[in-house]
């Protein structure tokens, strides 16, 4: 887990995969598909969204573009605000 962004409105965390093995039906140990994702927390609404798969890949491309172009905080916030509609899960501390 790696925190990428933290502001008054948002937190973005990169969830990195941990290599793991699972037992196949034949009893052999098989590597499990390791996938990464991003958790975006909207502090204003108290909701979060987890991006994985193709959503995570698209978001990764956005991060790479930000690294090249050094956006303003407002540009980052505007982009993250576009993901707020996907945020359906309330933030729960467990």
Q: What local confidence, expressed as pLDDT, does residue 66 receive?
A: 92
Q: What local confidence, expressed as pLDDT, does residue 51 receive?
A: 92
Alpha helices, H only, 26-88? 53-69, 73-81
pLDDT tens for each residue of 27-54: 776 666 567 899 999 999 898 999 999 9
Q: Provide mean pLDDT across the span 13-33.
A: 69
Q: Which residue has the higher pLDDT, 91 or 3?
A: 3
CA–CA gap between residue 18 and residue 35 (Å, rounded): 9
Enter the pTM of the model: 0.75
């Amino acid at each position: 887990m790696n925190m990428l962004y933290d502001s008054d409105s948002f937190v973005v965390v990169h969830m990195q995969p941990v290599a793991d093995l699972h037992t196949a039906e034949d009893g052999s140990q098989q590597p499990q598909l390791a996938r990464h994702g991003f958790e975006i927390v909207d502090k204003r609404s108290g909701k979060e969204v987890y991006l994985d798969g193709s959503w995570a890949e698209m978001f990764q491309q956005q991060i790479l573009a930000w690294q090249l172009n050094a956006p303003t905080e407002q540009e980052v916030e505007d982009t993250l605000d576009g993901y707020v509609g996907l945020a359906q899960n309330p933030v729960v501390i467990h």
